[in-house]
Amino acid sequence: MCPYRSSPLSLRVITLKFYRLISCAVVGWFLGHAHKGRQFAHNIHSSFAPFVAFLFIGQVVFGIYLKFHWEKGINKYIRKAAVLCHGTIGKITPIVSWVQMGFGGITLLGFCRADHLGQVPNIFGAGELIL
């Protein structure tokens, strides 16, 4: 049993994190799709976005499930898998986020668009050599 289960502070922190995530996602989605400003061709940044969104949605779903602290019956097995998935997604999220931001920068500069998506490994390889 989690010692923070009934803590109002813990619930407030989780609630604030959730609202922050949702507000950032909605604003980002709006800025990327709802305006009629600069339009980009199909690119690596837009190709990678559904994977990033799927990870974030999965993280929220696993987090909500784990917050309920269901530990009896079949849930003790589901909980073990959920803890593993939630932890793994939490660990790879910073890496995936930085890669997505890198893809955004590359897209903004004009590389890796339309049928030139194969340039992406070359650009990242050159960047790694510089570092």
Q: Residue 12 domain-assigned?
A: no
Q: Residue 24 domain-assigned?
A: no
Residue 113 — φ and ψ, nearest 5°? -115, 160
End-to-end CA distance of the chain: 46
What's the pLDDT at 90?
Answer: 93
pLDDT by residue, tens only, the chain of 131 residues: 455 455 555 666 667 777 777 777 778 777 766 766 666 677 788 888 889 989 988 998 898 899 888 888 899 899 999 999 999 999 999 999 998 988 888 787 776 666 665 666 666 666 655 65
Q: Residue 72 domain-assigned?
A: yes
Q: Residue 123 domain-assigned?
A: yes
Q: Residue 76 domain-assigned?
A: yes
Question: How many structural domains does the chain have?
Answer: 1
Q: Which domain holds residue 105?
A: 43-130
pTM: 0.66
Pair of tokens at residue 23: 């507000």
Q: Residue 77 domain-assigned?
A: yes
Q: Residue 7 domain-assigned?
A: no
Q: Residue 25 domain-assigned?
A: no
